[in-house]
Structure 1
Amino acid sequence: MEKKELFKYLIKEFHERRLPEIYHRTLEIPETKKIVSLIGARRIGKTSYFFQMIGQLEASMGRERILYINFEDERILPLDVKDLNSILEAYYELYPKNVDRELYLFFDEVQNVPGWEVYVRRLYDRGDLKLFLTGSSSKMLSKELATSLRGRTLSFYLYSLDFREYLAFRGVEPVQDFEYSRQRFELKKLFEEYLYEGGFPEVVLEVPELRKKILQDYFEMMIYRDLVERFSIRNTTLLKTLTKYLITNIGNPFSATSYYKVIKQDQEVSKGTLLEYISHLEDISLVYFLPLFSYSLKAQAINPRKVYCIDNGLRNAVSFTFSKDEGRLAENLVFLELMRREKEIYYWKNEGEVDFIVKEEDNSLTAINVSYTDRIEEREIRALEEFSGVEGFGAQVKEFLLLTKDTEKTENGIRYMPLWKWMLKT
């Protein structure tokens, strides 16, 4: 069957079926004339977010002028960029009355079609189409957006569930002044679960005994579908070992050079291959690397970067750990939350270490340490005090924040705040 006929089936199928049950996500995408690009890891909820947007549109205008195409649907694969011309041809043959009307096009995982950006640019330049794209490859999609679609698009990132979304998925809505109410005990208990289970939407909604298995399947899917198949990776053993090493050591500095010196003793591998694999892991948003805070770009480049992971639950499902690792998990949550809040973040290290230096829009700084223990260690306090005394840094800090397990107070210029409470404050 020719592609145009296949697209007709997909279009009619979408128009005739009910949207799946949607759990609201808090990401807000403003009204814009530009192409909207939604980027995030596999299974993070991009398709569901599209359906959330489609549901809102449908409430005001019906569904007929909305098109949704999933470019991972095996019925239309493989696709060449020339095949994409059949999408609107199929639609207008089904709905000729809408030829001159504005349409809303939602293209899911569009990066799977080589050359897609040329087609999307041509659609955008028509001026009568609203375009929404998703992709699981942040670097590939961003690179193409920055070249062929320069000035035509706005990119938004979707992460795993934040704590407030996690509560909503679990059927809990924080009451007003929740920190003073009896509900705080329930919220703290759920936060402990969130700390270990993470925020992949499907996993949160699944029965507890299946969650680890699902996360392990996610990991295998990311390794083989997003990395091995896409980039023709041959050394899958090295790739999996490297990935598990990185996500086991969240919150720690990572040096590719040091890691290379260790592994080359046991296997033949080039440093270039190792750096390539690390880049691919960043590409699919499985791991993130945080640079050192310095006004010297050279210092940022030569110092190790701290590594973080897309999701605590995924990390716990596949990492080499023999302890609860609460401190590292808490730090990873803070990293992800700062990314959701679109903060520019770094870490700082001298004698002590500050987990996060946040550069605000007015160029002021916020210094954050995470101490998720029953007893706050003195080194966490000393590191913040040390940073405050650094010439050129300390004077710029508008807040010193220590995120804790339970402690809440302000002392010696440092604000102590329970992590679960901070996660609920916008």
Structure 2
Amino acid sequence: MAEKYVERPFYMERMMEWFDDRTMIKVLTGIRRCGKSVIMEQFRQHLINRGISEKDIMLIDLEKMRYVIDSERMLYDHMSSNIRSDRPVILIDEVQLIKGWERALDSIRLKYDANIYITGSNSETVSESLGTHLTGRYVEIDVYPFSFKEFLSRYPIDNDNGYTQRFVQYLRYGGMPIIDLKDSQRKNRAILRGVYDSIINNDIRPGMDMDQALLNSMTSFMISNIGNLTTYGSIASRSYMKDQRTVEKYLGKLCGCFIFYKADKYDVIGGRHLKSKAKYYLADTGFKDAILLGSEYDEGSLLENAVFIELMRRGYRVSVGSFKDREIDFTAWLDGAPEFYQVAWSINDPMVLDREVRSLTKVEGKRVLITMDLDTPEVPDGIEVVRAPEFFLERD
């Protein structure tokens, strides 16, 4: 079955890194419908291809079995009665649907020396449960919608679409596996809107006594302001939600369900994070088109959003940088010293070029300027100019 889908070897590698450690529960987290279920199926086939017997692997899709397994005890009994191996591998999809799942899994892990992988679409439910009951015995693997390279696997270069055309499509429609470029824009928008509505109605509204229209207003405001520094106060005053504490709670839930990711502001000189201001980026740029219905198409903010998610996908810790009164789009850490990234759709305008390189000239380390320009002007030594499609294809 897995061969029908885009192969995602990056996640196979991440999951295999922890395969020999049965003491740890491996948790795949990410926004609903980003491909976690398919990754689980692909991982099952990956293990079989590596010589592990099918009888050693149990795959449980709790979304499909939610009316068969609806309690901690039923989950435990189902796993226990179906184990046919001395060293079972148990893969469970959408584990947060069962209350008390963490106790059932820990019991199975200890009793049967089980190697357990799970997926979840709500970090509040999954991470808090793990942190409370399985402290230090789990590892999270972040799953994102398709990277540009994976997008190209699904929509290859052809006579009508080169790398630039495909990349522009990627920015506008995003990388959620459930959409299809062969379908109409209207249908794809409806599909993504359905994902958004299911998150709001199932994961956010039950814990918040708020009107749906008010929630939609705030989300639309956040999407309209991608790439702009915000505070809880500014969001409250400009999205018809007066209480800053409510704004903070709602944004926490949006991030907890992986619709948005938060990037705190980082003071390069002081070497500290400034919690008062932050930027918020969508998990997938296609949601902007779906929720705002294309009314605010801004290619520059979409590119910045996509670069942020790509850095996160590669394992970086990412903040919004600042040097005195000058902004650096992203300060990113992977192993050691920070790296600095500026993002601009075009730098052929001298004023834009000056603005983008000014801050980079004041910092030391890896400095990258990402743009869509085919031909770029001269930049100071030490600053690397990379064309956006090439940046996204640098690595898996």
TM-score bin (small chain):
0.7 to 0.9
Equivalent residue for 1:51? 41
SS at match of 1:357: strand
What's the CA shift for 1:409? Answer: 6.9
**How far, CA to CA, are the matches of 2:353 and 2:281 in structure 1?**
19
Equivalent residue for 1:76? 67
Contact map agreement 2:226 2:279 (CA 8 A) in 1: yes
SS at match of 2:4: coil
Contact map agreement 2:86 2:112 (CA 8 A) in 1: no
What's the CA shift for 1:370? Answer: 0.9
What's the CA shift for 1:49? Answer: 0.3
Alignment pair present for 1:91 and 2:60: no
**How far, CA to CA, are the matches of 1:216 and 1:54 in structure 2?**
31
What's the CA shift for 1:121? Answer: 1.6
**Larger Rg, first or second structure (1 or 2):** 1
SS at match of 1:372: coil
Aligned to 1:358, which of 325, 332, 351? 332
Equivalent residue for 1:36? 26
Contact map agreement 2:347 2:353 (CA 8 A) in 1: no
What's the CA shift for 1:78? Answer: 6.7
Alignment pair present for 1:117 and 2:102: yes
Q: After superposition, give the CA deviation of every residue in 1:267-300 in whole Å (9 maximum; x if it has no partner).
A: 7x53322221111101001011211112768761
Equivalent residue for 2:298? 325
**How far, CA to CA, are the matches of 1:102 and 1:172 in structure 2?**
44
Aligned to 2:274, which of 297, 300, 303? 300
Equivalent residue for 2:254? 281
**How far, CA to CA, are the matches of 2:296 and 2:347 in structure 1?**
16
Contact map agreement 1:405 1:418 (CA 8 A) in 2: yes
SS at match of 1:36: strand
SS at match of 1:150: coil
Amino acid in the other structure paired with 1:212: R
Q: Size of the alignment, in residue pairs?
A: 383
What's the CA shift for 1:68? Answer: 1.5
Gap runs ≥5 in structure 1: 1-17, 93-97, 174-182
Aligned to 2:245, which of 255, 266, 272? 272
Q: Aligned in 2, Cα 1:246/1:91: closer, same or farther, shift over 3 Å?
A: same
Contact map agreement 2:339 2:367 (CA 8 A) in 1: yes
Alignment pair present for 1:338 and 2:311: yes
Shifted more, 207-216 versus 18-27: the winner is 18-27
Amino acid in the other structure paired with 1:65: D
Alignment pair present for 1:143 and 2:131: no
**How far, CA to CA, are the matches of 2:349 and 2:148 in structure 1?**
23
Q: Aligned in 2, Cα 1:206/1:89: closer, same or farther, shift over 3 Å?
A: farther
Q: Aligned in 2, Cα 1:110/1:85: closer, same or farther, shift over 3 Å?
A: same
Equivalent residue for 2:215? 239
Equivalent residue for 1:401? 369
Equivalent residue for 2:346? 373
Aligned to 1:103, which of 74, 88, 92? 88
**How far, CA to CA, are the matches of 2:167 and 2:312 in structure 1?**
19
CA RMSD of aligned residues (A): 2.6
Q: Aligned in 2, Cα 1:338/1:62: closer, same or farther, shift over 3 Å?
A: same
**How far, CA to CA, are the matches of 2:137 and 2:156 in structure 1?**
39
**How far, CA to CA, are the matches of 2:38 and 2:387 in structure 1?**
31
Equivalent residue for 2:202? 225
Equivalent residue for 1:22? 5
Contact map agreement 2:264 2:274 (CA 8 A) in 1: yes
Equivalent residue for 2:176? 200
What's the CA shift for 1:408? Answer: 5.0
Q: After superposition, give the CA deviation of every residue in 1:116-139 in whole Å (9 maximum; x if it has no partner).
A: 111212222235211010000123
Q: Aligned in 2, Cα 1:368/1:298: closer, same or farther, shift over 3 Å?
A: closer
TM (normalized to structure 1)? 0.82
Contact map agreement 1:346 1:357 (CA 8 A) in 2: yes
Percent sequence identity is 23
SS at match of 1:189: helix
What's the CA shift for 1:203? Answer: 0.7
Amino acid in the other structure paired with 1:345: V
**How far, CA to CA, are the matches of 1:208 and 1:184 in structure 2?**
18
Q: Aligned in 2, Cα 1:274/1:62: closer, same or farther, shift over 3 Å?
A: same
Contact map agreement 2:266 2:272 (CA 8 A) in 1: no
